Structure 1
Amino acid sequence: MNQRKSRAQGGLLTKRDLESMSNFRYQLRKFLRYSEEITHAAGITPLQYQLLLHVQGIPGKSWATVGEIAERLQAAPNGTAALVNRCEAAGLVLRKPGEADRRLVEVHLTPKGERCLLELASLHFAEYRAFGWLASSVEAQG
């Protein structure tokens, strides 16, 4: 049995483990607060920014379905559809029928949505790097 599994089952967390977990949550919360501040300053909500990011972040394509976005947000599909509606009303995204399957609805960024995403993503990326996040995974891919 590995150490991670035995700790999880046996409650054998050390003070150092708890400090590490606390630090992770602290750093994560600092990042999320920063994200909240810059997205609101740009005139959108953090969830709208995340939706824009996930539309462009699906590997191999420049659009996403509501189901894919819901999975990425870890949200219910009906709530995600309402978020897409709000983004569409704000001129950030538009829905298009799928080319291969007309029953499929694709969510695409508008030029306004793309500008907003790129501006905010560059600020987020700088913050990721400041925290030491992503650097190795992004540089390993590129």
Structure 2
Amino acid sequence: MPSQGDSRPDALTKQDFERLSHFRYRLRCFQRHSEDICRDHGLTSLQYQLLLHLKGFEGREWATVGELAERLQAKHHGTVALVGRCEEAGLVERRPGRADRRRMEVHLLEKGSALVARIAAQHQPELRHLQQEFHLPGWGAEP
């Protein structure tokens, strides 16, 4: 029996591969479902994720491009372009930083806030399903 710290590929059991495969499958199903919801609202999945991270940023109502890039696991320049597209659509706006005017804050506008709320609400049934399937406490809204 392999030890828990063993990282050799043969240290994994068939059941480990089955669990990982199932998890990745369910994750991809969620992503595809999310992409369909976003498309129905005229957004890309990345645009929705940017709005979601702004709406859900802990402790404040805005984030920097660097913070958004981290949340999106994206390159800084790609996030700048994404913010620009969302700004052109009237969903967000950039403002000079309060503490450091060289640092730009990205703020969610009313149109973006309303849109992300509608889209997030449509994700709740699938989140509840995943919560039940994987026994994850605290995910999604209560039924």
TM-score normalised to the size of structure 1? 0.89
Q: Which residue does 1:106 correspond to in 2?
A: 105
Query: How far apart are the structure 1 equivalents of 2:69 and 2:20?
Result: 27
Percent same amino acid among aligned pairs?
A: 50
TM-fit CA distance, 1:137: 3.1
Q: Which 4+ stretches in 1 moved above 6 angstroms?
A: none
**Structure 2 counterpart SS, 1:4:** coil
**Do structure 1's residue 94 and structure 2's residue 93 form an aligned pair?**
yes
From the superposition, tell whether residues 66 and 32 of structure 1 become closer, same or farther in structure 2 (CA, over 3 Å). same
**Do structure 1's residue 30 and structure 2's residue 17 form an aligned pair?**
no
Superposed CA deviations along residues 61-99 of structure 1, whole A, max 9, x for unmatched, are 110100000001111000000000000001110001111
Q: Which residue does 2:116 correspond to in 1?
A: 117
How many residue pairs get aligned? The number is 137
Cα pair 1:98 1:104 within 8 Å, conserved: yes
**Do structure 1's residue 62 and structure 2's residue 38 form an aligned pair?**
no
Cα pair 2:92 2:107 within 8 Å, conserved: yes
Give the unaligned 5+ runs of structure 1: none
Q: Which structure shows the higher helix fraction?
A: 1
Q: Which residue does 1:5 correspond to in 2?
A: 5
Superposed CA deviations along residues 18-55 of structure 1, whole A, max 9, x for unmatched, are 11011001100100000000000001000000000111
TM-fit CA distance, 1:125: 2.5
Give the unaligned 5+ runs of structure 2: none
Cα pair 1:36 1:45 within 8 Å, conserved: yes
